[in-house]
Chains A and B, each alone.
Chain A
Amino acid sequence: MPTNETTAHETGEAQAAATVAGAGGPAGARGGTSVSLRDLTRAFGAARALNEMSLEIAPGELVALLGPSGCGKTTALRIVAGFEYADAGQVLIDGKDVSGVPAAKRDMGMVFQSYSLFPNMSALDNVAFGLRMRKVGGGARRKRAAELLDMVGLSAQAGQWPHQLSGGQQQRVALARALAIEPRVLLLDEPLSALDAKVRLQLREQIRTLQQRLGTTTLFVTHDQEEALSMADRVGVMRAGRLEQVAEPAELYSRPATAFVAEFVGTMNRLPAELGGGGTVVTVLGTTVPTQEGGPSSGPVDALVRPENLTVAVAEAGDGIVTGRTFLGAVTRVAVRLSGDTEVAVDVSSAAAAAMAPGTAVQVSLPAAPVLVAPRSSD
């Protein structure tokens, strides 16, 4: 799992960022802002987009809201930005309720999913727009805008029109534009989703580097778990207008609080299991292990186990048959059909997987670590 700590390789870009931040320049000069969402509720007709959602974001922290379409993550972001209102609840910035403050006065920089540069302005003028609204003089404005374009590595494109820039460049200009106003909070609404995989990877590293250097409190909305887990200090997984779990990426992955989180983040096997000891232990694949908190204590259940937490070995008398293999580099994901037609995926070293051709009889087993259980799926 990535640790999300940027290594301090002093690229020209990063040096420029340090220069700008040090020069009493853009974001971060304020030393970070805390954001608090308290019991936010928002309904669109009969549909509840947010259902008493609460979240605390520490100064300088990057929190990602992750969830499927329609879970309410964008609504939450738009309420923080001031583009939507909450039917109930509060948005506190540094402890002050801003629910009634219009978007233009909230001091928040935002990067949108769609390309949002003003087509009638050059890249430089786009970045300078927010400064102009703050009555910064022409010379200082252009100088600051040029510094920010340099920070995102687009000095050479300062005079170009938005249509002359690629999608990735446009989003970098949009990022510079959002940071130019020294925002109290940076809001990112799926800014990478319109870009191709390679550009997305580059830009996400750049956003994270800048965010850490400038120390800007950031709320990032995405449906891409890889993006959320690799960029955020903490990830909030949303479902039906509520936060199911807010945790650091590693914890979210290894100790999911609910079955939904477990299955939404990463790959998860569902294995038929038997509860015992009043719900404190569970028997899976013939092994009895303690149950993790958060699951039911009675009734038919499935154990949720990650592919890397299972072991598999070739065994003549094993109760599983290999049905397929997917090479992932150092590891290979082996698909096994267990008795009872249960399909499981198990990660093994690619060297060991060489002996597990489809059709091979194998034995799948579970190490004695606590597992999360969920009500049995009807599938």
Chain B
Amino acid sequence: MAALTRPAPAAPAGLAQAKNRRRRSRPVWRWVVLLVTAVYFLLPLWGALRFSGISAFGGVISEAGFGSSLWLSVRLAIVTTAITLALMVPTAVYVHLRLPHLRRVLDSITILPVVIPPVVLIIGVLQIAKVAPSLQESPYLLALLYVILSMPFAYRSIDAGLRALDLKTMTEASSSLGAGWATTLWRVILPNLTTALLSATVLTVALVLGEYTMATLDLFQTFPVWIVVNDQVSAQVSVAASLLALFVTWLVLMLITLIGTRRSRRRGGGEVTLFTASAPQTIGN
């Protein structure tokens, strides 16, 4: 009996050890992947930081053209975000509520700016802008282009936010309580979309602050154009400015996800990332 029973526990122990080995090996691979990715992304930044040197960061602000180009980019970011949200939010809400079958179509339309070459977009917008010649010379023409460029990102953020809500029931509940369409949008839908709107805003602002091709083709010196132009005068300061812009954008993104997650958790939702938002959970019957 003893001889028969002894090997029995040994086999599961062996299996358990093998399982443990496998379990232990998994985190190692994770760390390797993480490390390779980190090196891929951080090495160029480290190289740029070494090239510019810490002292170059102090000279960025006093550099000629820095203030005006940054201010232009900021103004463009504000105008672009305002137009994008004003167009995309009612459109997305309307499609979700009244024309849900058109969601796929809208999905496809909003992805077009990614596949259409920038030159084609510029020529198209310039043709349309002919009806308002003053606009053709205004830097705000760029804002119209940026609205098109930011559409894929802004729409996806807003769409993800709307998917997480029971929009139809909320709208009907609000309506039955006497709220009109505008009140429902302002008091019920938008407050529940704040994270999605913040995501759309950050992505739009990041796009405007980093867009170079359109601005340079349209001959406006936005912040990215200034960085490239200034690169020929003072390469170190330009690189420092790029790093600064990157760091500030990253910081804002982190803040958005942190604040969004905190707000979401307070109301029963899950973790917030830039393209998803979890629906609120109920604690049972």
A interface residues, Cβ below 8 angstroms from B:
81-83, 102-110, 112, 114-120, 129-130, 133-134, 161-168, 170, 174, 177-178, 181, 187, 194-196, 199
Count of CB-CB pairs between chains A and B under 8 Å: 104
Q: Count how many chain B residues have C-beta atoms less than 8 Å from C-beta atoms of the other chain.
A: 28
Q: Is the CB of A130 within 8 A of B178?
A: yes
Contact of B285 with A by CB under 8 A: yes
B:128-145 near A, CB below 8 Å:
none
A-B interface, 6 closest residue pairs, ranked by CB to CB distance from nearest: A163-B268, A130-B177, A133-B178, A120-B191, A116-B173, A196-B285
A-B CB contact pairs (8 Å), 24 listed: A103-B176, A104-B176, A104-B179, A104-B180, A109-B176, A109-B177, A110-B173, A112-B173, A114-B166, A119-B269, A120-B191, A129-B174, A161-B268, A162-B268, A163-B267, A163-B268, A163-B281, A164-B268, A166-B283, A166-B284, A167-B282, A187-B176, A194-B285, A196-B285
Contact of B169 with A by CB under 8 A: yes
Please pick, from B166, B282, B285, the residue contacting A199 in the complex, using a CB distance under 8 A.
B285
Chain B residues in 8 Å Cβ range of A187: 176
B:166-202 near A, CB below 8 Å:
166, 169-170, 172-180, 183, 187-188, 191-192
Q: Is the CB of A120 within 8 A of B267?
A: yes
Chain B residues in 8 Å Cβ range of A167: 282, 284-285
Q: Is the CB of A163 within 8 A of B280?
A: yes
Q: A108 and B192 in contact (CB under 8 A), knowing A120-B267, A163-B281?
A: no
Chain A residues in 8 Å Cβ range of B176: 81-82, 103-104, 106, 108-110, 178, 187
Give the nearest-CB partner of A187 in chain B: B176
Please pick, from A133, A178, A194, the residue contacting B183 in the complex, using a CB distance under 8 A.
A133
Q: A181 and B178 in contact (CB under 8 A), knowing A118-B188, A161-B267?
A: yes
Chain A residues in 8 Å Cβ range of B192: 118-120
Bound CA span A82–B178, Å: 12
Q: A119 and B169 in contact (CB under 8 A), knowing A104-B179, A164-B268, A166-B285?
A: no
Q: Is the CB of A166 within 8 A of B282?
A: yes
Q: How far is the CB of B226 from chain A (nearest CB, A)?
A: 41
Q: How far is the CB of B69 from chain A (nearest CB, A)?
A: 39
Bound CA span A351–B30, Å: 70
B interface residues, Cβ below 8 angstroms from A:
165-166, 169-170, 172-180, 183, 187-188, 191-192, 266-269, 280-285
Chain A residues in 8 Å Cβ range of B285: 166-168, 194-196, 199
Q: A165 and B283 in contact (CB under 8 A), knowing A104-B179, A116-B170?
A: yes
Chain A residues in 8 Å Cβ range of B166: 114-116
Bound CA span A112–B177, Å: 13
Since A129-B187, A133-B177, A133-B183 are in contact, a sample of 6 more A-B pairs with Cβ atoms closer than 8 Å, ordered by chain A residue number, is: A109-B176, A114-B166, A116-B170, A119-B165, A119-B192, A163-B267
Give the nearest-CB partner of B281 in chain A: A163
Q: Is the CB of A103 within 8 A of B282?
A: no
Bound CA span A105–B177, Å: 9
Q: Is the CB of A104 within 8 A of B283?
A: no
Q: Is the CB of A104 within 8 A of B175?
A: yes
Q: A118 and B170 in contact (CB under 8 A), knowing A129-B177, A166-B284?
A: yes
Bound CA span A81–B176, Å: 7
Chain B residues in 8 Å Cβ range of A105: 178
Chain A residues in 8 Å Cβ range of B282: 115, 162-163, 165-167, 170
Q: Is the CB of A181 within 8 A of B283?
A: no
Q: How far is the CB of B164 from chain A (nearest CB, A)?
A: 10
Bound CA span A166–B178, Å: 26
Q: How far is the CB of A109 from chain B (nearest CB, A)?
A: 7
Chain B residues in 8 Å Cβ range of A134: 178
Give the nearest-CB partner of B173 in chain A: A116
Give the nearest-CB partner of A199 in chain B: B285
Chain A residues in 8 Å Cβ range of B169: 112, 114, 116
Q: Is the CB of B172 within 8 A of A103?
A: yes
Q: How far is the CB of B265 from chain A (nearest CB, A)?
A: 9
Chain B residues in 8 Å Cβ range of A83: 172, 175
Bound CA span A104–B174, Å: 8
Bound CA span A103–B283, Å: 31
Bound CA span A199–B283, Å: 14
Chain A residues in 8 Å Cβ range of B175: 82-83, 102-104
Chain A residues in 8 Å Cβ range of B177: 104, 109, 129-130, 133, 177-178, 181
- Most A CB within 10 A of own CB, among B165, B179, B282: B282
Chain B residues in 8 Å Cβ range of A129: 174, 177, 179, 187
Q: Is the CB of B266 within 8 A of A161?
A: yes
Q: How far is the CB of B101 from chain A (nearest CB, A)?
A: 13
Chain B residues in 8 Å Cβ range of A174: 173
Q: How far is the CB of A340 from chain B (nearest CB, A)?
A: 46
Bound CA span A170–B169, Å: 14
Bound CA span A196–B266, Å: 26
Please pick, from B179, B280, B284, the residue contacting A119 in the complex, using a CB distance under 8 A.
B280
Q: Is the CB of A162 within 8 A of B280?
A: yes
